[in-house]
């Protein structure tokens, strides 16, 4: 019998107490965390270990190690993905039969599989918002030279992001990292994405979780259109006359508005110097998130950061501090505006929403209250009304999301 081996960056001794000699599908319910999980080719369960929630996937040893290494690599280059925790190998049953290894990842707090999103949100444009987030993720992966090979909603987790969603990579079994991707590799990934997503949306319609008026094929085609639009904006060469040099700044500003920074820009001229061409060579996602972190130390999704920065700009104008240093005003905004609202969340409700998302929703609530009451409702009054009227009815999204999807069967391999 091979000895049990746990490979992890910071293994918790409590891992040794888990029933590794039992197939994961047979683990007792008292060990499991009641989290929604999507459909998978493998058995997946969530467990609480040492105060944290871990996702366990029973899988072939070679695939477990490969996926663990790939997730670590993607984390180092800044790709939004689940965080790898470790690999457990050398498992065997009580009667000595070998068992598959276990890939362990950290549960992504405040995230939802797509089925849980549809069970909670009934807006007709939910599918389009999810696919918009997936298109952004796919573009980021392709810019880094990552070929996914199994693009789908099932292999993605979603976090709320100021009225939109942010997508995170979950399953990288089939993924490979290259220096650059060919157009054929990108097209193949897109074709897989379209096929899988149309099938998933049809499945939702069969389960009456998606309106019959929604055309899954049309939504799948919109994913491709959104991807191509974003890919072109980030990579396409643009030519203009030499007296239109302002277009260089305009191109960079456009990319910043899309949420990307330009790390390197290629400029070329023709032989007589009358025409200039520009093409972004290195782009990096997270423009607004990095700016908010630099100014206020708040870790937020890109759309959340964009919304908070807009509020910071409004605060700067209202307090007549346009001439002051941006960092000084941001510090004051943080202390006088943002933190009092976030601190007002009752302790028992803090696992319902991330702090930046809560602040965004309070801003939305303030606007609706002001419209309804025909007056400028103070922010703190809006926060108290939101906490009293809206927040108690929001589901807990940090780690225990109690939806019917927690009972979705997981397909064993």
Domains of the chain: 5-109 (3.30.200.20), 112-235 (1.10.510.10), 238-285 (no CATH), 288-393 (no CATH)
Task: Supply 316's token pair.
Answer: 């700067």
Picking from 52, 18, 165, 113, the residue whose alpha carbon sits closest to that of residue 407 is 113
Average pLDDT, the chain: 86
Percent composition of the chain: helix, strand, coil (DSSP 3-state, to 5): 45, 20, 35
- Write the secondary structure of 17-68 as one string of H (helix), E (strand) and C (coil): HCCCCCCHHHCCHHHECCCCCCCCCCCEEEEEECCEEEEEEEECHHHHHHHH
Residue 409: the pLDDT is 31
In this predicted model, what pLDDT tens digit does every residue of 114-127 receive, in sequence order? 887 876 665 557 77
For residues 282-308, average pLDDT: 91
In this predicted model, what pLDDT tens digit does every residue of 315-335 receive, in sequence order? 999 899 988 899 999 999 999
Phi and psi at residue 350, in whole multiples of 5°?
-75, -10
Q: Alpha-carbon distance 66 to 174, whole Å?
A: 10
Give the residue with greater pLDDT, 208 vs 381: 381
In this predicted model, what pLDDT tens digit does every residue of 330-340 receive, in sequence order? 999 999 999 99
Q: 10 Å Cβ neighbour count for 96? A: 8
CA angle 362, 366, 368 (to 5 degrees): 115
Confidence of residue 397 (pLDDT cuts 50, 70, 90): low
Residue 230: the pLDDT is 93
Residue 406: the pLDDT is 33
Count how many residues are written for the chain: 413
In this predicted model, what pLDDT tens digit does every residue of 13-57 receive, in sequence order? 888 889 999 999 999 988 887 665 555 678 888 898 877 889 999
Phi and psi at residue 3, in whole multiples of 5°?
-70, 150
**Structural contact between residues 257 and 302, judged by C-beta atoms closer than 8 angstroms:** no
Burial (0-12, 13-18, 19+ Cβ within 10 Å), 197: buried
H helix intervals, 123-215: 126-143, 183-206
Q: Say whether pLDDT at 405 is over 70.
A: no
For residues 281-310, average pLDDT: 90
Kindly state the percentage of the chain with pLDDT values over 90: 52
**Structural contact between residues 360 and 308, judged by C-beta atoms closer than 8 angstroms:** yes
In this predicted model, what pLDDT tens digit does every residue of 363-385 receive, in sequence order? 999 999 999 999 999 999 999 99
Confidence of residue 403 (pLDDT cuts 50, 70, 90): very low
Among the residue ranges 176-190, 247-261, 360-374, the one predicted with the least confidence is 247-261
Give the residue with greater pLDDT, 406 vs 241: 241
Instruction: Please state whether 145 falls in left (phi above 0), alpha (psi between -120 and 50) or beta.
Output: left
Residue 381: the pLDDT is 94
Q: Say whether pLDDT at 190 is over 90.
A: yes
Residue 400: the pLDDT is 43
Half-sphere exposure (CA, 13 Å, Cβ side) for 219?
26
For residues 403-408, average pLDDT: 33
């Amino acid at each position: 019998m091979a000895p049990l081996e746990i490979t992890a960056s910071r293994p918790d001794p409590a891992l040794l107490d888990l029933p590794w000699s039992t197939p994961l599908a047979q683990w007792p319910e008292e060990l499991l965390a009641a989290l929604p999980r999507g459909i998978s080719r493998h058995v997946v369960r969530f467990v609480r270990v040492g105060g944290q929630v871990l996702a366990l996937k029973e899988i072939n040893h070679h695939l477990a190690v490969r996926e663990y290494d790939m997730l670590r690599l993607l984390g180092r280059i800044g790709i939004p993905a689940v965080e790898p925790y470790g690999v457990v190998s050398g498992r065997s049953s009580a009667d000595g039969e070998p068992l598959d290894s276990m890939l362990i990842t950290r549960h992504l707090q405040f995230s939802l599989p797509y089925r849980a999103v549809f069970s909670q949100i009934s807006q007709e444009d939910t599918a389009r918002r999810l696919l918009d987030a997936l298109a952004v993720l796919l573009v980021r992966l392709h810019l880094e030279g990552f070929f996914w090979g199994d693009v789908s909603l099932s292999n993605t987790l979603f976090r709320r992001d100021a009225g939109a969603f942010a997508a995170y990579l979950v399953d990288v079994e089939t993924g490979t990292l290259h220096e650059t991707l060919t157009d054929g590799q990108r097209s193949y990934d897109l074709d897989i994405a379209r096929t899988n997503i149309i099938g998933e949306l049809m499945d939702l319609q069969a389960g009456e979780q998606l309106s019959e008026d929604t055309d899954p094929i049309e939504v799948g085609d919109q994913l491709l259109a959104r991807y191509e639009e974003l890919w072109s904006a980030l990579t396409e060469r643009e030519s203009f006359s030499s007296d239109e040099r302002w277009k260089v700044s305009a191109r960079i500003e456009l990319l910043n508005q899309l949420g990307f920074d330009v790390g390197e820009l290629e400029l070329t001229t023709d032989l007589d110097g009358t025409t200039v061409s520009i093409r972004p060579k290195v782009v990096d996602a997270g423009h607004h998130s990095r700016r908010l972190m630099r100014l206020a130390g708040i870790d937020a999704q890109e759309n959340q950061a964009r919304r908070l920065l807009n509020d910071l700009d409004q605060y700067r104008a209202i307090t007549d501090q346009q001439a002051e240093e941006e960092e000084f005003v941001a510090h004051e905004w943080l202390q006088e505006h943002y933190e009092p609202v976030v601190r007002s969340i009752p302790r028992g409700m803090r696992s319902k929403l991330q702090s930046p998302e809560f602040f965004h929703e309070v801003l939305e609530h303030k606007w609706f209250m002001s419209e309804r009451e025909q007056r400028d409702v103070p922010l703190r009054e809006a926060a108290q009304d939101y906490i009293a009227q809206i927040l108690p009815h929001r589901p807990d999204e940090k780690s225990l999301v109690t939806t019917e999807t927690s009972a979705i069967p997981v397909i064993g391999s």
